[in-house]
Amino acid sequence: MVITGGHRNDGALLAAVLADIRVPRLTAGRPRTRPDAVVADKAYSARAYRRALHARGIKAVIPEKSDSIAARRRRGSRGGRPPGLDVAAYRGRNVVERHFALTKQWRGLATRYDKLAVTYRAAVVLAACITWSRI
């Protein structure tokens, strides 16, 4: 988890987030550092995000924005091929969205009263642990 200032662009820290990924193995061994796919919403459909994921060999499951679709169609055959979308994998994104909705039930997290990033991150981890223990 990477915590930044509220005014900071998410794309600036994509490399840091990808570097922090650790997917544990079912058997013994070191954790994988490259997931099979990254599922995101339309806000992350920019070419820079897709290129960064492609450079690491990660499948991007991101729908295309409607204005990008229109621009590509306007260009005709010069518009290029649309990026693929695994619809079945994209349906699983609602699990993450529901977790964010649960996290926003904590007033201090939703409004970010904490000034220090360390304190805010600790509150997010605490909320995740309490949510996980209720399952």
**Cα distance between residue 45 and residue 53, in whole Å:** 11
Clarify whether residues 103 and 121 are in a common domain. yes
Segment (H or E) for 60:
strand 59-61
Clarify whether residues 101 and 39 are in a common domain. no
Answer yes or no: pTM beyond 0.85.
no
What range does the domain containing 118 cover?
A: 92-135
Confidence of residue 6 (pLDDT cuts 50, 70, 90): low
pLDDT in tens, 93-108: 888 888 888 888 888 8
Clarify whether residues 119 and 54 are in a common domain. no
**How many domains does the chain fold into?**
2
Strand partners, 39: 61
Given a cut of 80, whether residue 42 has pLDDT beyond it is yes
CB 62 within 8 A of CB 41: yes
Clarify whether residues 70 and 107 are in a common domain. no
Clarify whether residues 68 and 30 are in a common domain. yes
CB 90 within 8 A of CB 72: no
pLDDT in tens, 50-82: 888 999 899 999 999 888 889 888 988 888 888
Token pair 């079945």 is at which residue?
88
pLDDT, averaged across the chain: 84
